Amino acid sequence: MCYFLYGSLYGDVSESEYVNIKNKYGLKISLGTKHDVKNAVKAAAESVRNDYRVTEDACDCDSPVGKHDPEDPEIIELCNLIKDLSALPGAKQIIICKTWTGKSIPTYY
């Protein structure tokens, strides 16, 4: 049983501005919709690679996300990534979904 974190940015944003922000961080939030994240969660059991996973870890249980550590640098990095992406002109919605072995509990920002 494991935690998994998924995320996407929805909106009409400049690809180059998005890439500049994305390259600043070790975590990632892909361009996509709420439906894309939902499908990624559903397909998680069938695929090892997932473009909507926020971290590169096998799972997020041992990460700050799974351990609920708000002071950890990785959580602070995720917060900064979300702030930078949400400030992009044309950004409409950031979708964050923390799952427990494929059971979606979406959170929308």
pLDDT, tens digit (0-9, with 9 covering 90-100), for 30-82: 999 999 988 888 877 665 557 888 988 777 887 777 777 788 898 899 999 99
Q: Is the pLDDT of residue 101 over 70?
A: no
What are the residues facing 63 on neighbouring strands? none
Question: What pLDDT, on the 0 to 100 scale, is given for residue 30?
Answer: 94
CA dist 25 to 80, 96, 101, Å? 9, 16, 26
- Region 96-103 average pLDDT: 74
Q: Which of 59, 40, 60 is nearest to 50 (CA)?
A: 40
In which domain, by residue range, is 15 found? 3-108
Q: Which residues, 6 or more positions from 27, have their beta carbon under 8 angstroms from its beta carbon?
A: 54, 55, 74, 77, 78, 81
Question: What pLDDT, on the 0 to 100 scale, is given for residue 5?
Answer: 86
User: Distance between CA 70 and CA 64 in Å, rounded?
Assistant: 7
Question: What pLDDT, on the 0 to 100 scale, is given for residue 25?
Answer: 94
Task: Give the residue, 93 or 1, on which the prediction is more confident.
Answer: 93
User: Distance between CA 77 and CA 25 in Å, rounded?
Assistant: 7
Counting the structural domains of the chain, the total is 1
